[in-house]
């Protein structure tokens, strides 16, 4: 089994469903081009039957982007599939992503149906989509809460009908990593034709476990991971692209690899945040403002001695110039000396002790201390002459 992981980005579909985050076609094309430059394998461009605007966006993205596969979402409904196929007509590589709910909640309460009828609808949808495209992905909605034996029956039947990728969404973000991993393992071991398709993870973050669940899925046999930039998406969001990709890159003990150009991650994250008017939380892994900022004295001293003491990722690897040493009342002498050195001051031990005492008073008053504050602190202390 290959260790290549396919990155399926759904920022423009699941991510764009977030209230207030809607983009126009031009903005979506900008995001799609950025995703292409980042090296994602599949861009889920939209849900064409949902609105004329979404239809048009899928058409334009398919024209603008040439390397990634362009995917369009549908329900297991012929009309949806017809419209998706039309929207994909300019795609170099088009994929229809169809599916239906497979948990008891969805089968009985939402679809008012029964397991045999759902299985039949699933197979019919895949066969119908195959009339248009070779590449058909099938999602078992709410797979996270679906019975594994029934899920295996559906997966086997849709692969037989021609599905090339099988998506196992934890739609409600309910699973624990061990549980989600066991589900993928069960399918790998109990679906006789599973080797004819790729299993995909699609995890929501309701319990904060989307990335852990996705990685657990990969370790147990999934080879496609569905993600969004900054982890945006319905409710608490989806698995975030940057977290999965950097976890794999950082853990040399894991055999997997992706084709993502990680140096483009930070810029892509900023673009999505600004176009969608959706701030990234300061402590967000990889792309948050504080992800590479050190503020306590002990950590600052350690990082200044050797950044690997407290950093597991080189910020340059995700396109961030350098980590930050924040000056606050929790900073130590080493951090103050570092900043003063960068400003051109060379201080004796006594002068540094004196500056540090005054700095602590200032930092208690002002919370964070910047270069202007430091210049004020140093008053007319002589700057080192530049040669």
Could you tell me the smallest distance in angstroms from the CB atom of residue 225 to ligand KIV?
A: 13
204 is in an annotated binding site: yes
95 binding partner (options ligand KIV, Zn ion, none; Cβ < 5 to 8 Å by kind): none
Could you tell me the smallest distance in angstroms from the CB atom of residue 270 to ligand KIV?
A: 25
> In this structure, what are the phi and psi dihedrals at residue 279, rounded to the nearest 5 degrees?
-60, 150
148 is in an annotated binding site: no
Nearer to ligand KIV, 167 or 331 (CB): 167
Nearer to ligand KIV, 27 or 226 (CB): 226
54 binding partner (options Zn ion, ligand KIV, none; Cβ < 5 to 8 Å by kind): none
Could you tell me the smallest distance in angstroms from the CB atom of residue 15 to ligand KIV?
A: 10
Nearer to ligand KIV, 234 or 267 (CB): 234
- Tell me how far apart the alpha carbons of residues 367 and 48 are, in angstroms, rounded to a whole number: 50
24 is in an annotated binding site: no
Could you tell me the smallest distance in angstroms from the CB atom of residue 139 to ligand KIV?
A: 4
In 3D, which of 45, 22, 21 has the Cα closest to residue 33? 45
Residues that bind ligand KIV (CB under 6 A): 14, 139, 141, 167, 169, 171, 202, 204
- Burial (CB < 10 A; 0-12, 13-18, 19+), residue 246, is buried
Q: Which residues, 6+ apart, have CB-to-CB distance to 331 below 8 Å?
A: 295, 296, 297, 300, 325, 359, 363
167 binding partner (options ligand KIV, Zn ion, none; Cβ < 5 to 8 Å by kind): ligand KIV
43 and 229 in contact (C-beta within 8 Å)?
Answer: no
- Tell me how far apart the alpha carbons of residues 297 and 261 are, in angstroms, rounded to a whole number: 34
Output the six-digit token pair for 27: 């903005």
Among 6, 12, 13, 14, binds Zn ion (CB under 5 A): 14
14 and 272 in contact (C-beta within 8 Å)?
Answer: no
In angstroms, the Cα distances linking 39 to 1, 116, 117, 199 are 22, 40, 39, 20
Could you tell me the smallest distance in angstroms from the CB atom of residue 155 to ligand KIV?
A: 14
Q: Provide the annotated binding site for Mn(2+).
A: 14, 202, 204, 238
| Residue ranges that bind Zn ion, judged by CB under 5 A | 14
């Amino acid at each position: 089994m290959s260790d290549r992981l396919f990155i399926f980005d759904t920022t423009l579909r699941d991510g764009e469903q977030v209230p207030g985050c809607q983009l126009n076609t031009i903005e979506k094309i900008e995001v799609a081009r950025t995703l292409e430059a980042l090296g994602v394998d599949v861009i889920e461009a939209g849900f064409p039957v949902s609105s004329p605007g979404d239809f048009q966006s899928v058409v334009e993205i398919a024209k603008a982007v040439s390397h990634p596969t362009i995917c369009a979402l549908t329900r297991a409904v012929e009309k949806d599939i017809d419209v998706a196929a039309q929207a994909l007509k300019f795609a170099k590589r088009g994929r229809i992503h169809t599916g239906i709910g497979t948990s008891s909640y969805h089968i009985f309460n939402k679809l008012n149906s029964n397991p045999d009828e759902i299985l039949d609808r699933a197979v019919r949808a895949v066969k119908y989509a195959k009339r248009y495209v070779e590449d058909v992905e099938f999602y078992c909605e709410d797979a996270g809460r679906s019975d594994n034996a029934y899920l295996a029956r559906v997966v086997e039947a849709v692969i037989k009908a021609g599905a090339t990728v099988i998506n196992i969404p934890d739609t409600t973000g309910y699973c624990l990593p061990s549980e989600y991993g066991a589900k993928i393992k069960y399918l790998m071991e109990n679906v006789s034709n599973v080797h004819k398709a790729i299993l995909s993870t699609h995890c929501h973050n309701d319990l904060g476990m989307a990335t852990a669940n996705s990685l657990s899925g990969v370790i147990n046999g999934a080879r496609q991971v569905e993600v969004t930039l900054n982890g945006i998406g319905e409710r608490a969001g989806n698995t975030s692209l940057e977290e999965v990709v950097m976890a794999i890159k950082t853990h040399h003990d894991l055999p997997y690899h992706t084709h993502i150009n990680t140096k483009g991650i930070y810029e892509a994250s900023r673009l999505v945040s600004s176009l969608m008017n959706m701030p990234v939380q300061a402590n967000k892994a990889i792309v948050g403002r504080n992800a590479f900022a050190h503020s306590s004295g002990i950590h600052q001293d350690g990082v200044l001695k050797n950044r690997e003491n407290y950093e597991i990722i080189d910020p340059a690897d995700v396109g961030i110039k350098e980590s930050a040493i924040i000056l606050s009342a929790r900073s130590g002498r080493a951090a103050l000396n570092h900043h003063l050195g960068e400003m051109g001051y060379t201080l004796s031990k006594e002068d540094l002790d004196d500056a540090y005492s005054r700095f602590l008073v200032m930092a208690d008053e002002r919370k964070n201390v910047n270069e202007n504050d430091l210049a004020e602190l140093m008053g007319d202390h002589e700057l080192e002459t530049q040669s």
